[in-house]
Structure 1
Amino acid sequence: MSDRTDPLDVVRAAQGRSGGASRPRTDWSASRGRLFLVLIAPSVLLLALLNAYPVAYAALQSVRNGTLITAGEFVGLANFAKVLQSPDFWHAVRFTAIFTISGVAGSWLIGMALALALQARIHFGGVFKVLLLLPWVVPIVVSSMAWNWLVATPDSPMPALARFLGFGTPLFLADPVLAAVTVCVFKIWCSFPFMMLMMSAALSAIDRSVYEASSLDGASARQQLFYITLPLTRRTTYISWILMTIFCINDFPTIYLLTAGGPIDATTSLIVLAYRLVFQNFQTGPGVAVALMMTAAMVVVSMVLFRQIRKSGATA
């Protein structure tokens, strides 16, 4: 070996060594990626089947005139036409809209107000928060039994109190209007803790220096609410609205355990109507058609609110 080595030869040798060493790494990365795909493929396939099969089977049932036992004959879109021509369907649509709007708006307003109140330091704040979570934590069966005890009969506490105050004896679950109002209030009562948690998390993420700077500039509490708090929490607000809309439209136990859809179908929502058609009247096709139209409505509402989320992110 010569004492004097050409520097170019040294560089070429180093490049050759580095190039040769990089190929195994590339091969290992590719093989590791293929191994990863092979390992997750069964789980992905299983999840796809678990989600796709029920939807495909429901779509198949919606175009047949079968029952829970027999598949029935193919009738095309006749079940959808039958449902859309039914007054019961449009009555259920109306109540579902009222139930959903009141549930989302009422629970958000109360949850936001309580979240703002909990931002202040109060004595026994932890205990107070736990108590506020009880309507959401307690099983719906227990809550519905408690509300039935409160309002179901003329001798229940709420009708007795109304009679004592001179308002007569209101039949909260026998009068169609009062039953609808009672169900909506019950839904708000069960749902506001969820909204309170969502908005509390959003409020805790706001930098307090923003409020301090606005106070120095002379902003009032109302101005801080409308120009700081609401704009900075709107992403969480839209997400909570999406979730609560889905919860309300799909909420079967809250209505059924309290009123079973009565009186005279005053509190029959779309999910209750679908249940009756499938499991009581054994009309699988129309019942599944109602469920599919509910799903389409939820997808549309979710897309609209997701668009608002993207807009709020773009303008943030």
Structure 2
Amino acid sequence: MTDVSVPTRSAARTDRPRGRERKAESRHPGSKKTMAAMLAPSIFLLIALNAYPLFYAVSQSLRDGGIAGPGEFIGLENYTTALQDPAFWEAVRFTLLFTVVSVFVAWVIGTALALVLRRSFPGRSVFRVLLLLPWVVPVVVSTTSWNFLVATPSSPVPTLLRELGFGDVQILANPGSAMAIVIIFKIWGTVPFMMMMMSSALQAVDPSVEEACRLDGASRWQRIRHVILPIMSKPVYIAWVLASIFTINDFPSVFLLTGGGPVGSTSTLVVFAYRLVFQDFRTGYGVAVAFLITTALIAMSIYFFRRINRASANG
């Protein structure tokens, strides 16, 4: 007698999916090719729309062009000129100050407000909506309102300071006070974003963990520092990255409030690049500065995303 092998149940089960896959492939033999052919025009269009401006900008940064034309090829001279330009480094210093102070202070205030709004109290919804107004109102309206408050000696804030005995204070005419106003304005506009990010992050904190720490005798500050903030580390890094990118690239807030003055004291790198291209008509130099900004943003993003991955691995 010949032995006839009977397939086991496990073998039959493993054969079924393969049979289904074969049937699906036999029914639609060219489905993958068809999908690829249908997606190809859209992918090509997206690449072309993004690649052409990028390569054209790279070409402009390697030339001494202006309003009359692209100019002659000069290699990396625009980049070396930027690194040797005192005005460029002054813009770098203020951009760093503007970004670090605005993001950190806005994060501290936004986290504090998120912790307050975590508890129920009368009028919480109305209070939350009012706190979102600086972020919802268009920046043109906000800067116009702030200009009305501080721009001239007859504005409300200088008038109040004069009545308090500080003399004639010209806030936007003094470099120190102008820098302070620009930073305060940016903090005012960034706090709602930080509050929303931190409110979402706080939802991941288990109340039972906080309750256990409280029963163990941990104070409110100890619970925030050693329990809540470590759990929120990943959303915090993401909020820092986004807020830093928004702040470094923020052109209208600075330009509409002070125009980069007085004497270039509030000129960020974005405003500096804008002036080079559209006021001084040094297109190649301005585009080179823009690429330096992009390089700095990429380096900062890589650093923070590594911290995010490390926080995810530890979590």
Q: CA RMSD in A?
A: 2.1
Could you tell me which residue of structure 1 aligns to residue 255 of structure 2? 256
> CA separation of 1:210/1:82 partners in 2, compared to 1, >3 Å: closer, same or farther?
same
Asked if 1:186 is matched to 2:185, the reply is: yes
Name the amino acid aligned to 1:203: L
Question: What is aligned with 1:292?
Answer: 291
Deviates more, 1:287-296 or 1:102-111: 102-111
- SS of the residue 1:121 aligns to: coil
1:300 deviates by 0.6
State the percentage of identical aligned residues: 49
Inter-CA distance 64–10: structure 2 relative to 1 (3 Å threshold)? same
Partner of 2:40: 41
Q: Structure 1: which amino acid aligns with 2:297?
A: M
Is structure 2 residue 85 aligned with structure 1 residue 64? no
Question: Deviation at 1:263?
Answer: 0.6
Q: Tell me which moved more, 97-106 or 38-47.
A: 38-47
1:181-219 CA distance string (max 9 Å, x none): 110110111111001000000002211111111112111
The 1:222/1:291 distance shift into structure 2, 3 A limit, reads: same
Residues 63-212 of structure 1 mapped to structure 2, 5 A cutoff: 63-212=62-211
State the one-letter code of the partner of 2:196.
Answer: L
Structure 1 pair 20–143 and aligned structure 2 pair: CA distance change class (3 A): closer
Q: Give the 3-state SS of the residue equivalent to 1:75 in structure 2.
A: coil
Structure 1 unaligned residues grouped into runs of 5+:
1-5
Partner of 2:227: 228
Cα distance change, pair 210–72 in 1 and its aligned pair in 2 (3 A): same
For 1:28 and 1:38, the matched residues in 2 are separated by 19
Describe the SS at the equivalent of 2:173.
Answer: coil
CA distance in 2, matches of 1:313, 1:167: 52
- Aligned amino acid, residue 150 of structure 1: L
Q: Cα 1:308–1:22, aligned 2, differ >3 Å: closer, same or farther? A: closer
In 1: Cα distance, 2:73 partner to 2:215 partner: 71
- Gapped runs of 5+ residues in structure 2? none
Distance 2:43 2:314 in 1: 36
Q: Is the alpha carbon distance of 1:129 and 1:46 closer, same or farther for their aligned partners in structure 2, counting shifts above 3 Å? A: same
Structure 1 distance, partners of 2:166, 2:303, is 43
Q: What letter matches 2:255 in structure 1? A: Y
**Change in 2 beyond 3 A, CA 1:91/1:30:** farther
In 2: Cα distance, 1:80 partner to 1:291 partner: 10
CA 1:235–1:11 in 2, change beyond 3 Å: closer, same or farther? closer
Report deviation, 1:35.
Answer: 2.7
Q: Quick one: distance in 2 between partners of 1:176 and 1:123?
A: 43
> SS where residue 268 of structure 1 aligns?
coil
Which residue identity lines up with residue 275 of structure 1 in the other structure? Y
Counterpart of 2:274 in structure 1 is 275
What is the letter of the counterpart of residue 250 of structure 1? Answer: N
Q: When the two structures are superposed, what TM-score results if normalisation uses the length of structure 2?
A: 0.92
Q: Deviations over 1:117-143 (max 9, x none)?
A: 111111111111110000000000000
Deviation, 1:109, is 1.0
Match of 1:303 in 2: 302
* Residues 253-262 or 213-222, more deviating: 213-222
* Alignment-derived partner of residue 3 in structure 1: none
| Corresponding pairs, count | 309
C-alpha deviation, 1:22, in angstroms:
4.8
Shift in alpha-carbon separation, 1:82–1:212, aligned structure 2, 3 A: same
SS in 2 for 1:173: helix
Instruction: Provide Cα deviations, 1:121-172, integer angstroms capped at 9, x if missing partner.
Output: 1111111111000000000000001000111111211112212222223211
Residue 226 of structure 1: how far off its partner (Å): 0.5
Rounded to whole Å, the distance in 1 between the matches of 2:20 and 2:229 is 56
